[in-house]
Amino acid sequence: MRTLRSLMLAAALAVALAVTGFAASPLPSAYAKYAAGPTKILPLQRAFPLDELVELSELRARDRVRHARILLGGGRQSSVGGVVDFPVQGSSDPYLVGSKMTMLYFTKVKLGSPPTEFNVQIDTGSDILWVTCSSCSNCPHSSGLGIDLHFFDAPGSLTAGSVTCSDPICSSVFQTTAAQCSENNQCGYSFRYGDGSGTSGYYMTDTFYFDAILGESLVANSSAPIVFGCSTYQSGDLTKSDKAVDGIFGFGKGKLSVVSQLSSRGITPPVFSHCLKGDGSGGGVFVLGEILVPGMVYSPLVPSQPHYNLNLLSIGVNGQMLPLDAAVFEASNTRGTIVDTGTTLTYLVKEAYDLFLNAISNSVSQLVTPIISNGEQCYLVSTSISDMFPSVSLNFAGGASMMLRPQDYLFHYGIYDGASMWCIGFQKAPEEQTILGDLVLKDKVFVYDLARQRIGWANYDCSMSVNVSITSGKDIVNSGQPCLNISTRDILIRLFFSILFGLLLCIFFSLT
């Protein structure tokens, strides 16, 4: 009888674990497996100060720094459980005069025991999560973003561990980069960028904390061990305090990206998504999981590329294709089309940029007055731009088209002579790569499906909740507090297991 009761209790506990989504797994090494988990959340916040007007030259300079890093590949080192999602704040419009402006997004993450909170920039163009170490002597100690900077204290964390040079992680990461070993046998890194800035430090392992959504209103604390970088030295723009954050949260394709680490252990699915709200006060969400929206179209990722490259085939303006040879968009190590949340504007290769600019100017309404402002093509508009400017389509492999409204390729630059001045937000690429930045990524759901090697998108109001299925590693959130809307199928599944759990408990107690 005691054996039967024990079996019944074990079965009840197993069902309880199935309902909540927890499953145990061993931790064999620094890159060990961890508990496969339920839905998880982290908040994202604005990365730039409010009420700030930024000149186009400054935006281009920031993007040039960004692109130098991308082109050098300096930051690159080369099932389904729950979903981590990041509520986003801020607007993608870099020229909201006297209003709120955001060009980058950052989130708060917690590392260590006891946990320390860090503000880290979200970046799909780099791989690792790195934060500033307490031993860094030249790193910023204050930020013009109105946030407090923190430093990771490795000796002060009860769960911190070092990655040695003989660790398989170190050898796998440095297959294409010379490994760096410190005097105490720590696996080090050094990222040097084309703009002269850089960071170096060593890899650590420690506990990464997040919230777990277990049901429609149930949120629990959760955690997993991850490998991340601890920066002991920074140079160039990284040392400046005006826009300093605690580090960078890389969502690239490398082995040490948070996406790769968590999905390889079944903690999150091999897919992530974002939806950035472009108007008003901004907002949105960044999800480690797949957002489901109607009308999603997909284009395959270009294989064997270090970044999220797509095959752009043509560009249409007002329904007419630009007379472009598709070869100008062909992907290679230095060419192609990159989707990058770390870029503010959008950059077209020179062959496409000139044709695009001429097509827009030739298609605008006669009620629009063209004007050159600070060397940029702008237009004076006295009414809504929706009726004054043509639609634009970016056409990709797989039959997927990205339809752009005027506000997706124009930015508002204030009032001039009693009219609104709108300027072209597309820029001529300094290199041979087309880069799709936040200007065109806003007001759309983007899904990076790494399992199927494709990227999907659909127009969407990012202030609304987005649907994701819990059973397939998907979540539902909005631009403010996370909002979980479980599908009917998920509810029935959970209800079935809940009833089964209750019956098993009743049997157990009846046998005692």
Catalytic residues, which ones?
A: 123, 340
Distance (Å, whole) CA 118 – CA 111: 8
Dihedral pair phi/psi, residue 327, rounded to 5°: -65, -20
Using alpha carbons, list the distances in angstroms from residue 313 to 115, 249, 300: 47, 31, 13
Distance (Å, whole) CA 66 – CA 438: 13
Using alpha carbons, list the distances in angstroms from residue 226 to 204, 207, 417: 8, 6, 55
Return the SS3 of 300: strand
**Number of residues written out for the chain:** 512
Dihedral pair phi/psi, residue 238, rounded to 5°: -65, -20
Torsion of CA 193, 199, 200, 202, to 10 degrees: -120
Distance (Å, whole) CA 145 – CA 47: 7
Please give the structure tokens belonging to residue 360. Answer: 């827009």
Taking each helix axis as running N to C, give the angle between helix 2-20 and helix 488-510, from 0 to 180 degrees, rounded to the nearest 10: 160
Distance (Å, whole) CA 366 – CA 373: 19
Residue 90: strand pairing partners: 282
Return the SS3 of 287: strand
Of 304, 293, 296, 329, which Cα lies nearest the Cα of 314?
329
A 10 A CB-CB count for 483 gives: 17
A 10 A CB-CB count for 184 gives: 9
Q: Check whether the bond before 114 is cis (ω within 30° of 0).
A: yes
Distance (Å, whole) CA 23 – CA 79: 11
Give the list of residues 6+ apart from residue 171 with CB closer than 8 angstroms, or none: 179
Of 270, 214, 283, 242, which Cα lies nearest the Cα of 478?
283
Looking up tokens 């024990």, which residue turns up?
Answer: 6
Q: What is the CA radius of gyration of the chain?
A: 24
Distance (Å, whole) CA 472 – CA 368: 49
Amino acid at 470: I
Distance (Å, whole) CA 244 – CA 237: 9
Secondary structure element (H or E) that encloses residue 504, with its range: helix 488-510
